[in-house]
Amino acid sequence: MADRVRRRLVIEGRVQGVFFRESCRRQAESAGVAGWARNLDDGRVEVVLEGGAGLVEQVVAWCRTGPRQAVVTSVQVLDEEPEGLDGFRAR
């Protein structure tokens, strides 16, 4: 896939204990985007997304609000080289 991209997101706010990782997994799988999500010790969530540029951007846009219970205050987005991830895991 020539337009394959990889984005690393660090999401701040009330994003732990609100099913953010699992909801993100569902969004990514629905869009056909690979990657993973994990809680960080400081209360943030880190997400890596890999796939077609437009599809990844759809999931990035979702991460800016997250699930209903979340309150997202900041999303850092870093571009990285794709690694060929397959599937999505909520760690």
Domains of the chain, first to last: 4-81 (3.30.70.100)
Separation CA 34–CA 89 (nearest Å):
8
Q: State in Å, rounded, how far the first CA of the chain is from the last one.
A: 26
Examine the residue annotation and report whether 38 is marked as an active-site residue of this protein: no
Q: How much is the average pLDDT of 51-68? A: 97
Which DSSP helix (H) or strand (E) runs through 54? helix 53-63
Separation CA 72–CA 22 (nearest Å):
16
Examine the residue annotation and report whether 21 is marked as an active-site residue of this protein: yes
pLDDT more than 70, % of the chain? 98
Please determine, for residue 1, whether its predicted confidence score (pLDDT) is greater than 60. Answer: no
Active-site entry in 39, 68, 89, 91: 39
One-letter identity of residue 65: T
Give the global pTM: 0.94
Active-site entry in 21, 25, 26, 68: 21
Q: What is the pLDDT of residue 91?
A: 81
